Structure 1
Amino acid sequence: MNVIGIDIGGTKIKFGLFDEEHQLSRHTEIPTPKKNIIGTMIETIATLTLGKEIRGIGVASAGIVDFSKGMITRATNLPDLEHAPLSNRLKDRFHVPVYVDNDANCAALTEGIVGAAKEVNHYICATIGTGIGGGVVQHKQIIHGLNGYSGEVGHMTLYPDGMRCDCGKKGCWERYASGRALEDAIHSQPSLSAKGYTPKDLFVHYPHDEQCKQIIDTFIHHLSIGIINLQYTLDPEMIVLGGGVVNATGPWWDSLIKEVNTASPIKVNLQRAQWKNDASMIGAALLVKNAREETLEV
């Protein structure tokens, strides 16, 4: 029997229908509506599953998620979903178990089951995109914390009197080591801004352009500080980095590995995520699989 995996983002929602072997058999994506998101999701699921039986639905979403209630409690880009009965609405319509979790947690689950961390039990997955998200995994289980804030590593304080973050605090890690940080650095350099450079361009020109090199070296420095803090705090077997920024190719990754292991007396096992754009959608479907296996073991 099939399961549904859904990834809700600020600009689009991805839907995947997975078979018993967890192979993607059908998929679609839609622009994220401003209103009636749940109603639109229900219509899309009904179309995607036409003629198919499903045994569960997993949902990955940006924002802070109360896993036990299946509810998004805080999502800057998804105000229509804040405190909405997402899980209950889907259960009432499709009469199957529904699991809702943070998108970075779902990406971490994917990496632990079919990705870079499948050989380890204790790891952290940090997603470096516009901001920084994260998932903490112990004994192959996602750690949610009391209020769903576990893994919000982007809001570790790097500089107490630093730049203001969207969360309201100052000096958060994601203000210095994310796609937004790279965009801010481009805007601070008129010559790069005039050329229409994007963060991807910085990585492309990193080896042979001094301005790009300075920006990426600063980014690497800030990224390494956060990585070392995570290693000292949780001492995981592995730290997996994913997200759009990490997908950029080039020699900068070797520079990051060198900086991390030069600055830290603790050996850090740093790996790139193997799954990219679909990691959260796959992980959402795996929420159903994991929950079912745990139930069978009891």
Structure 2
Amino acid sequence: MIAVTGATGQLGQFVIKHLLQKTPKDRVIALVRNPEKAKSIQALGIQVRQADYTKPDTLTAALQGVTKLLLISSSEVGQRIVQHQNVINAAKQAGVELIAYTSLLHANTSPLLLAQEHIETEAYLKQANVPHVLLRNGWYTENYLASVAPALANGGFIGCAKDGKISSAAREDYAEAAVAVLTSEEPQSGKVYELAGDESYTLAELCAIISKESGKNIPYIDMEESQFVKALEGAGLPAPLAGVLGNSDTGASQGGLFDDSHVLSSLIDHPTQSLRQMVKAHL
């Protein structure tokens, strides 16, 4: 049995979609915090179990009979390490044979503050002595596409990544990679996959694509991190999220979101989704 945490989330839904293309539905378990939000998954004939990262008692029951588990990292920055530990402890108790964990690209050397909780989770997986494989996901292209509409409205795309190269990929590409690992007949325990898109671009180059596809000149406006964070807060983003985005852009300027190994496209056996095509579809 293969179980997927956060199955109603943006990444989790893509994982379920591609898992069903390779695995019988009666061998897939969707783990969700709120089963009421998983009706579309239940309609596919997939077993849905409640599994709340913050409630260990739900995890122990949810993981019974599971052989492989995709632990999609929590979205609650600052609380993730405890939440992940809860899942890992329950998985060990349930006898799960392999945990695939979605970590961060080059987590052990990354300049991004986001890396810390991933590093701690990776260390805990090792300490707990459970078989595991690390899916170190790079940046999601959708993270930057979310800024396209405000950029068009305001006549400029703001950030603080300077001329740092970003090797992002679509969520669906990362989901396919997770499925490839979970369904592989080769032993996966102990492996580390550094996953990133085939294309690498600066935010200025992204803006050139947005400009061409939209027909509107959208310059890239580079700021100091503090200015960028303040601008995001002014646009209504919560301060913690604005801080994460600002730090991540600064990390990008230091090479933290760059990787040209093409491990991701090799794993999914096709090129990652084109940046231009994603911008075009988004527009």
Name the TM tier (shorter chain): 0.3 to 0.5
Q: TM-score, normalised by structure 1?
A: 0.32
* Greater share of helix: 2
Q: TM-score, normalised by structure 2?
A: 0.34
* Greater share of strand: 1
